[in-house]
Structure 1
Amino acid sequence: MKLENEILYVEMVEHGAELTRIYNKKTGAEILWNADPKFWKRHSPVLFPNVGKTWHNVVKIQGEQYPTSQHGFARDHDFKCIHAGKEEVKFLLTSTDEMKEVYPFDFELYISYRLKKNVIEVEWEIKNQSEETIYFTIGGHPAIHFAKENETKADYRLYFPEKDHLNYILVDIAEGGADPKKVYEMKLEDGYYPLTEELFERDALIFDENQIEEVWISHKDGTPYVGMKCEGFPNFGIWSVKDAPFVCLEPWMGRCDDVGFEGDISEKPGINSVESGGTFEKSYQIIVG
């Protein structure tokens, strides 16, 4: 499936309802990472029903314990394309008996992509078809590829409009959970922070408490390259792989478990809930500068 206008050419596939290409027709830049497994085998997966890892790779739901995988199962299932128009493509994933072995709820997950000039809007819609309340986290994971093949992280800066500092936490790699007790400050200079390889030596940077509603990857001289607007997202991740020519900007509704969390899913900090028959909706924008 594809969307196209005079500025951008965009592709997406039914497997994972994943965005697979963003091509800037005016500059010739391939905006989205090409999924070369040398660094990372994905482009822009949707993370559902869990963002990141759960504690010890299990989740407790109504007294039962279920196995989980990092970032959930939606990214590894085929969705059904239910609409393919000139301005919008929409996919649907419906719960199955196989899924209910690890996530015991009936749901419908809709993922839509809309192209408007230089902006791609990504929308998630989750309908609760169960008789009880469902709980989940959901997130985006687009990998922004650098404009030129010989560029590195040192050629770019992060830009956070109207911010002078941010606070972030890290993942305890050995334990597989976030450590909210250790908070690090990111001091910004006129909203900018340099991209370096060292920034990701301990995996993703996790920003909680609705700190990020707009962020840009800019060229070193400050020229905007690719931005993201994500109003009302309580959590945000920024991640890359050593020497990889991309950076992931990740808007999250909820995130990985804290180290040591062993409560029921309903007790998890930041969990989303939808009552029987209800609907959850959220969207964010990718902006090509």
Structure 2
Amino acid sequence: MQKTRQIENERLLIKVNDHGGELAGIYDKLNNRELIWDANPQVWNRHAPILFPFVGELFQKEYYYNGVTYPMTAHGFARDSEFLFKDINDNQITHILESNDETKKIYPFDFKLEVSHRIEENKVIVAWKVVNKGKSEMLFSIGAHPAFNVPAMAGELQKDYFLTFGNQKELDYIRIAKDGGTALFDEVHKLKLKDGSYQVGEHLFDDGVLIFENHQLLEVGIAFPDKTQYVTIKCEDFPYVGVWTKPNAPFICLEPWYGRCDNYGFTGELKDKTGVQKLGSNEEFNVEYEIIVG
């Protein structure tokens, strides 16, 4: 049976599952609402999966490392793995995933991934620490995929909500190919904003995820139809951000990433993959993002 841990303060109650180390709930006590999608399997069976050691799809669902071909499903295996529960206190829950004989069959690196979720007032801070425990350089990507309930209140429509991007006026984004989910990297689109926001409308996600590259975003959020802020993710260090929902699904995912899906047609070595992170022997990679409620 899946084990869920929870902590709370005066404003928030959060839940984190051992399975996937996944954030499973953010309850806003002040406004009496749950922000995180309930993972209804008839629509989309996840809440906020951790994407590791890959983000997105690989071209032909495989990659090449040191002359060997390895299979890999979309977003890697962490989201489907049982994490080791490390500890819990008044404001933080910590989980660990480490390499083992099974992971090495598809990902030949020795690693430790430590994930912590902590609460501070109206914020949830998600921190990742990746440790290269091997003797050779480690190649990986890592990303977040939290799904927020939209609409958040009865009587509202998702199309009337707004995506918010701080003080930005215009953004570049790319799409993915429909026959495999890899990036159409040479087709750049423009998203023209008004007061830093863009109304969701009915067709924004018809062609799947919007991928914003090149450190364009310091933050990304969702606002109510009256433009009051619902949720904001602070992600200033992240080179990539995805925004996505399934057709007719009552949630929107805001996804800060270190790395992204393959370019369409890419068949090169893993070291040459767009967005791949490189970590020396015994080195650590540390990063965090904030989910701000309201």
Same fold per TM (> 0.5)? yes
Match in the other structure for 1:184: 189
| 1:75 and 2:72 aligned | no
Counterparts of 1:96-245 in structure 2, within 5 Å, are 96-146=100-150, 147-245=152-250
Corresponding letter in the other structure for 1:245: P
- Post-superposition Cα deviations, 1:187-241, rounded to whole Å, max 9, x if no partner, equal 0011110012311111100111011111120011110000000111111100001
Show the counterpart of 1:2: 6
Q: Is the 8 Å Cα contact of residues 152 and 243 (structure 1) preserved in structure 2?
A: no
2:53 counterpart (46, 49, 56): 49
Runs of 4+ deviating beyond 6 Å: none
In the alignment, the residues of structure 2 paired with residue 134 and residue 286 of structure 1 have an alpha-carbon distance, to the nearest angstrom, of 29
* Contact 2:57-2:180 at 8 Å conserved across structures: no
1:18/1:181 CA distance change after superposition, 3 Å: same
One-letter amino acid of the counterpart of residue 120, structure 1: V
1:31 to partner: Cα distance? 0.4
Which string of whole-angstrom CA distances, capped at 9 and with x for unpartnered residues, describes residues 58-86 of structure 1?
A: 01111111000000000001101111111
Once residues 144 and 233 of structure 1 are traced to their aligned partners in structure 2, the CA distance between those partners, rounded to angstroms, is: 20
Structure 1, unaligned stretches of length 5 or more? none
RMSD (Å), alpha carbons: 0.9
- For 2:68 and 2:202, the matched residues in 1 are separated by 41
1:89 matched to which residue of 2?
93
Distance in 2, matches of 1:262 and 1:150, equals 48
Give the partner amino acid of 2:123: V
Query: Any gaps of 5 or more consecutive residues in structure 2?
Result: none
SS where residue 52 of structure 2 aligns?
Answer: coil
Secondary structure in 2 matching 1:122: strand
TM-score by length of 2: 0.96
Q: Give 1:262 shift.
A: 1.0
Structure 2 residue identity aligned to 1:274:
L
What is the TM-score of this pair, normalised by structure 1? 0.98
Change (3 A) 1:175 1:12: closer
- CA shift at 1:175, angstroms? 3.8
Q: How many Å separate the matches in 1 of 2:60 and 2:119?
A: 39
Q: Which SS does the other structure have where 2:163 is aligned?
A: strand
Contact 2:166 2:218 (8 Å CA) reproduced: no
Structure 2: distance between partners of 1:287 and 1:141: 15
